[in-house]
Amino acid sequence: MNIKSLAEDERPREKFLSKGKYSLSDAELLAIILGSGSKKESSINLAQRILASVDYNWNELAKLSISDLCKFNGIGKVKAIEIITSLEIGRRKSLQEALKKEKITSSKDIFNILQPIIGDSTIEEFWVIFLSRAHKVLSKEKISQGGITGTVVDPRLIFKHALELNAVSLIISHNHPSGNVQPSNSDIQITREIKEAGKLLNINLVDHLIVTQTSYYSFADEGVL
């Protein structure tokens, strides 16, 4: 079945106009981005195939590269770039919404800020959020990045930034590309080192979050900080 064989008000663009964006399925939304399918299938069928390959998970789709997308018949580099671009816009929108709330009041606030940044990353990244006395965000900075299984962190670099910003406290965070939120021995060790170094400078370590695509582990919430 091609797009033209559908009733006019069931074609993705026409349906958007007549019934609104919330009436569209995920496949119909992606079909609009694709614009067209191939000679053998409609844009909706192509969209369904692409989504099915990632279990209809937009976060997993966002991880696909141009070459990954081009493996689908009907997807060239231009369409692949359009898909990746639209998903990147969505990621940045989520990040801006999270940053509207400048004051950190819970581990969930921290997760909402950092998940759009590192939740989908396939390599480990170590980030620090620097806070004022009122727990307002002064800055968020990537301190290091490594491979799939780890990254090296230098506490001196963290506190150099903290002193430059006149930060009173800070939050450290890194992602686990594996999806496992449980801290490793090295995670626990670096947390202790940063906490002890902060005491010497009167800069408090508020929390350490391990972030994955859909969840997180808070050292403070678990009482192990």
The CATH code of the domain that includes 69 is 1.10.150
Rounded Cα distance between 186 and 99, Å, is 29
Rounded Cα distance between 131 and 113, Å, is 13
What is the pLDDT tens value at each position of the chain, 225 positions in all? 555 555 444 588 888 888 888 888 999 999 999 988 888 888 899 999 999 999 998 988 998 999 999 999 999 999 999 999 999 998 888 777 655 556 789 999 999 999 988 988 888 999 999 999 888 898 899 999 876 556 778 899 999 999 999 999 999 999 999 899 999 999 999 999 999 999 999 999 999 999 998 899 999 999 988
Q: Which two tokens stand for residue 165?
A: 């910003």
Which structural domain range is residue 142 located in? 101-218
> Do 22 and 113 fall within a single domain?
no
Nearest CA to 53 out of 40, 72, 33, 67 is that of: 72
Count of domains observed in the chain: 2
Domain termination residue (choose one: 56, 74, 95) = 95
Please tell me the pTM assigned to this model.
0.60
> Do 205 and 121 fall within a single domain?
yes
Residue 47 inside a domain? The answer is yes
Residue 225 inside a domain? The answer is no
> Do 34 and 69 fall within a single domain?
yes
pLDDT of residue 42: 87
> Do 197 and 137 fall within a single domain?
yes
> Do 90 and 107 fall within a single domain?
no
> Do 57 and 144 fall within a single domain?
no
Residue 223 inside a domain? The answer is no
> Do 88 and 166 fall within a single domain?
no
Residue 192 inside a domain? The answer is yes
b/e map 171-180, b = 16+ CB within 10 Å: bbbbbbbeee
Residue 224 inside a domain? The answer is no
Q: What is the CATH number of the domain that holds 123?
A: 3.40.140.10
CA 61 to the chain's CA centroid: 12
Q: Per DSSP, what are the bridge partners of residue 204? A: 169
> Do 139 and 157 fall within a single domain?
yes
Segment holding 113, helix H or strand E: helix 107-118
> Do 105 and 202 fall within a single domain?
yes
Residue 90 inside a domain? The answer is yes
> Do 89 and 116 fall within a single domain?
no
Query: 155-165 vs 185-201: helix axis angle to the nearest 10?
Result: 40
Domain termination residue (choose one: 40, 71, 95) = 95
Beta strands in 72-124 (DSSP E): none
